[in-house]
Structure 1
Amino acid sequence: MNSSTNLKQRRVMLITTDEKIIEQICTSNNLSSSSKTVILESEENNNDLSDSSDDMESMNQEGTSTTKLLVCVICGSSALGRNFGVISCESCKLFFRRNALKNPATLSCRYKNTCTVTLETRRRCSACRLNKCLKYGMKRERLIKAEKKSIERRQCREERTNISPINEQNSQLQLLASPDSYLPQTSSRIQRAVLNSDDLQRIEMVQTAFEKRIELARDNLLWNPTVHSTNLLEFLNSRSVPAMRLVAFFKQIREFTELSSEDKFILTKYNLMPLIVPSFALSFKKDTKQVIETNTDVPWDESAFQQAIGTNYLLQIKPIFAPLVEIVQYDQKIMQLFLIVLFLSKGLSTGEDTTEPILRDYMAVYRAHNFYTELLWNYMEVTHGIKVAYRIFSKLIFQYLRWLNLRRTIALDVQQSLPRTEQSNIFPVMQSLFHI
């Protein structure tokens, strides 16, 4: 505001991209001699302009006096910055956000779209106000982009709340202390779990991949599965059969095949062997009390395990293995998905005496792990209900970690029991998997 003795003048800045208005200003004969018109040509490529927050920040850097000169081109009230591409007030910004994406048929004018939109009349006719917003340059595309970003941020927050990444050093102790801590926090979800057609197709694909693992691994077996093992060395080498079959299973999982060769090697080397016993739950025959993956295999029963690892360890394995068998008998798809979740869990199965290398693309593994964790959870919740899902998920995590700790003890004892002269006779691939 500039003041004089008897006359006050008001300086108004009008910013517009409408060429008709600019032409009217330039050709108008009603402008006083003291008025000054300045036309600034803008660059053609203004797609990088953001919403009001960025524009307000740049304008506020010039001082508070600058913001007083801004006028909303929609209603004429004072404005603080650009919203959706146009200098506008907060009221018109919120109005455009609420109405720009609505069906035009829901907004109609009783006066055939002839209403004048001002500060006093802007609330009387939504149709004319929206038409003026669009006419003066407000862009629906920016609103759609802003809404999309808002949805993505909300989804990211929900993912961080529901499925948090596992701390590689402390996760196992935390899960053993409270297995429920690993469960997705569904109480914070806005909507219940759902399974779309792609999810159902993926679950069926996983089931088919697990069934095909026997056939796909047939030509890569190092040990004849029809031959009994008679000593500890042969027992260790015979474990290459279920190991190679699990590899054939995971090679059919798209997210795993898309990883780099280095990351696939790390996950296989450090996560594969602990999965053999949980996978045996899928091949356990309850009537004969035997583990047999295919009819031509030599079955594994309690006597075979007892001969290989001893009675003491067998008695410790049984209470861990039994709950896993119960889950498989209830729904085998749960265990098949759970194997993928475990296989993609970076650092979960690292032994205290080993140093697991850093993944080349940790986020790719993390995203794949999250995808199958959520797929498993949604499947259990939709199929069996949230209470049953919690109990199953908790039991899976708890029993697996019990087995993980026991397996380390068994592995250390086996290595000490096996003479070093015989360790060189272990299959090279098994030496790598056993960390020998």
Structure 2
Amino acid sequence: MSLRLFDTAARELRDFVPLEPGRVGIYICGLTTQAPPHLGHVRFAVAFDVLRRWLTVGHGYDVTLVRNVTDIDDKILAKSAEGGEPWFALSYRNELETRDALDSLGILPPTYEPRATGHVPEMVELMETLVEKSHAYAAPDGSGDVYFDVQSWPAYGELTHQRLDDMAPAEDADPRGKRDPRDFALWKGSKPTEPPTASWPTPFGRGRPGWHLECSAMACRYLGETFDIHGGGVDLRFPHHENEQAQSRAAGWGFARYWLHNAWVTMGGEKMSKSLGNSLRVREVTREHRPLAVRYYLTAAHYRSTIEYHEGSLEEAEAAVERIEGFLRRALPDAGPLLATGEETLPEEFRESMDDDLGVSGALAVIHDTVRAGNTALDEDDDEVAAELARTVVAMTHVLGVNPLDPVWHGGSGEQDDTLAALDALVAAQIEARAAARAARDYP
């Protein structure tokens, strides 16, 4: 069975065939750094981390993953003005906390993590190309705004399957300079109320990038004019991804061949967000719950399914992790931190589930079935079979990023190391006591 992924543009499952044999290029929209990340923010990173791992481990692809940082936009400037902190300091502080949050959840670092502010020349070049091709225009009022002309691109709306006549006006800039209210901003002219550091010179006047322009420019810079997969949260399909695709293809690029979108984390049926006051900041959550359990919680649902957070959600994830971890420590008592070697054979049922649009629920079912079989083998004193099953569990959980023996969950220093040492001593004592009881046939 070949890998099949649900392509948002096609609205169906498609066999995945990379542009270049053996290599895959992925671009995912990262976080805007106006605030610290909460669980809803980081779900995209977990979802695409699983995809990346499966492409690498399950299919042997060499994956290049680009995850951008939007380090300047309207919200960042507004937060900066509210708090009196320079916008670039605010942005960088939140970028560092975001990176720490993703690291704490075992998410592999991207191949490249470009910032918008570091790629203004590429954006200006793309903008000039669109103007030359009559797909963009500078506002006639001399404001420095530059807009994409949606009427000039008949395919506009093809990603989200909308008709232009049914679309609402784009609310990303002053409509007075637009030919059509649905035209979107490529570039925003500088304003007297904004700091001088938040603008760059262009042939059209000083200003800063529009949200959509940056991603097209950076994707092309690191992956080429045509690449394999573009991903992000479902809320980015329109207008962000629609606009990315339109401006990129209008410039003559092939752009993304597959579009993948993950669903939200909700509370009380509403999207988790700062504005609703229902956010769970990653830094705070991981102080109360093991990061491994948080990662498991965000991984366990299919990436296109909404996760409804409720009291007890993370406790349920913790219990599932403990079942896996308990078996591994019983079956491999001397292993310590352990990674998959890459030589393990993954069960066919696991491979089939993962190849079916990353069916993690089916994959986790195989993991827990294997854990049960391994515990049965231990109870029957078949330690060799149990150890082999344990190594298979390590390999499968590695694919999902939830291997309890991965060193990523056992790093740190000082108090954390002391705690882990004490825990290891307690586990070792329990294992020794169990072995003695078994030898004495003291099964109760």
| Same-fold status (TM-score > 0.5) | no
Who wins on radius of gyration, i.e. which is larger? 1
**TM-score class normalised by the smaller sequence:** under 0.3
- Greater share of residues in strand: 2
Compute the TM-score of the two structures, normalised by the length of structure 1: 0.20
Q: Which structure exhibits the higher relative contact order, with contacts defined as CA atoms closer than 8 Å and separated by 6 or more residues? A: 2
TM-score normalised to the size of structure 2?
A: 0.20
